[in-house]
Amino acid sequence: MQLDDLKRCSFAEICWYFTDSWEQFRINGKVDVIDGSNPDPLKLQQREKAWFASSIKSRLQYLGPTPGIPSVDEQPSQVPTLDPSTSPVGVFCLLVLDPDQVDYLNLKSNERVTYTAGHSAEGEKIWTWEKALLEEEPFQREETYCLLILEKGQRVFYILYFFFPLI
């Protein structure tokens, strides 16, 4: 996916799979692209903080040639150098994912939990979750739990619903 595509359609998903524990996380939501032209000073501050949090070796990757484009020079390219106090270079972008859904899958225990964000009447973000046990039988029996978490100021309300299939 190209950066321009992401700016036009800002929905994306990231996925992590941990081979030792057989766990997978899929997180999808809206991505905010923060580049040097962003008008928001707080977002530019986040971008700069991310830049300085990465190693010099990581930062040097942004100074090299564009990946995938053949070099026309016969001579070996010169290794770029970077002053550690240099601000983020123009091509450095910070991508911030605001999750709408998190899908957790544990293949060892056959457990799947899906967390979904919604909004309260006041516009506050609330999360619900649904848990399912995956069975190897063709007809699986699921117990679904839905947890509604509502945060209002310093108070947090938890409402737990149970759904059982009719057999």
What DSSP element (H or E) covers 30?
A: strand 23-34
Categorize the per-residue pLDDT at 39 as very low, low, confident or very high, splitting at 50, 70 and 90: very high
Q: Cβ–Cβ contacts within 10 Å for residue 47, how many?
A: 20
Average pLDDT over residues 105-118: 90
Categorize the per-residue pLDDT at 133 as very low, low, confident or very high, splitting at 50, 70 and 90: confident
pLDDT higher than threshold 90 for residue 49:
yes
**Measured CA angle at 77 (ends 47, 94), to 5 deg:** 10
Q: Cβ–Cβ contacts within 10 Å for residue 19, how many?
A: 6
Predicted pLDDT of residue 117: 93
Predicted pLDDT of residue 152: 42
Average pLDDT over residues 10-24: 90
What type of residue is 118?
A: G
Instruction: Please give the mean pLDDT across all residues of the chain.
Output: 78
SS percent in the chain: helix, strand, coil, step 5 = 15, 40, 45
Average pLDDT over residues 49-53: 94
Strands, DSSP E only, in 36-154?
94-106, 111-119, 125-133, 144-152
CB 95 within 8 A of CB 38: no
Domain boundaries, the chain: 110-167
Calculate what percentage of the chain has a pLDDT beyond 90.
33
pLDDT higher than threshold 70 for residue 75:
no
pLDDT higher than threshold 60 for residue 1:
no
pLDDT, tens digit (0-9, with 9 covering 90-100), for 56-72: 888 888 887 766 676 66
pTM of the model: 0.67
Between CA 79 and CA 68 the distance in angstroms is 18
